[in-house]
A = this chain, B = another copy of it.
Amino acid sequence: MTETSSNPSTEGGPPGRIGIGLELDATHLKILEVLRENGRISVAALAERVGISRANAYTRFEALRADGAIRRFTAEIDHTRAGLGITALIFVTVRQQMWRQFRAELAQMPEVEYCAITTGQHDAMIQIRVADVAAVHTMVTERLANIPAVKATETVFILDEVIRRPYVLPSDRGPGRPPRRSAPAPAQEPVPLGKLGFVGAAEGRAGLGKE
């Protein structure tokens, strides 16, 4: 169960621990690559595509699952075909020390696909999928605004989703070499970078974890 493989491929990052459980070697990553594209592939076919025996594939597959590296298997759907063609982001400012309530209320809202606590100007970002723009308005003004924990909101619409990957892996960078850009502008810095995150995040943000 506890592997002690050579682990040669996880490229030139810091040699520190990458988690508490299983150490992922190149084969594990390859399995995750295949599973990302086809989560319903049989373990037999998986073994073939990765280049290992079936028995080995079963062992590693089960290890990844048991260790929690693979959380679960799921599908990817076309939201418009499900009748939820409108996607919006809602940035929320949360009243301090009301995080518990905020989380509880949020769990009651089925249209929320994603919610993350962030640094920066706002405290949380919510992504919702609804049928029409009116539903966004309803969601924000009638459901979110009625939560005492919500101090302020700001909404933007998503016009297009350019990239949507189930997950990224260290091996996506290729084993070692950094991916080259097509615009080889070497030494200049013409871009205002804005602040890098921690603005306004210092105020009373103690109990974030699960509060």
Residues of A at the B interface (CB closer than 8 Å) are 10, 13-14, 18-19, 21-22, 24, 29, 32, 35-40, 67-85, 87-89, 91, 101, 103-121, 124-125, 128-129, 131-132, 136-137, 140-141, 143-148, 150-170, 172-173, 179, 181-183, 185, 188-198, 208-209
Q: Report the separation of the CA atoms of residues A85 and B77 in the bound assembly, to the nearest whole angstrom.
A: 26
**Is there an interface contact between A74 and B140, defined as CB atoms closer than 8 Å?**
no
Q: Which 3 A-B pairs have the closest CB atoms?
A: A110-B172, A120-B156, A154-B194
Q: Report the separation of the CA atoms of residues A170 and B128 in the bound assembly, to the nearest whole angstrom.
A: 12
**In the complex, residue of chain B having the shortest beta-carbon distance to the beta carbon of A80:** B19
Question: Looking at A18, A113, A162, which has the most chain B CB atoms within 10 Å of its CB?
Answer: A162
A110 touching B191 in the complex, CB below 8 Å, given contacts A83-B19, A161-B115? no
- Counted per complex, copies of this chain come to 2
CB distance from A161 to the nearest CB of B (A): 5
**Is there an interface contact between A159 and B117, defined as CB atoms closer than 8 Å?**
yes
**Is there an interface contact between A68 and B78, defined as CB atoms closer than 8 Å?**
yes
**Is there an interface contact between B32 and A103, defined as CB atoms closer than 8 Å?**
no
Q: Which residues of B contact A173 (CB under 8 A)?
A: 110-111
Extra pairs beyond A120-B154, A146-B188 (20, CB < 8 Å): A13-B83, A24-B83, A32-B77, A35-B75, A37-B74, A74-B74, A74-B76, A77-B167, A103-B162, A113-B163, A113-B167, A115-B161, A116-B160, A116-B162, A118-B156, A118-B159, A121-B156, A131-B170, A147-B181, A147-B183
Q: Which residues of B contact A68 (CB under 8 A)?
A: 78, 81
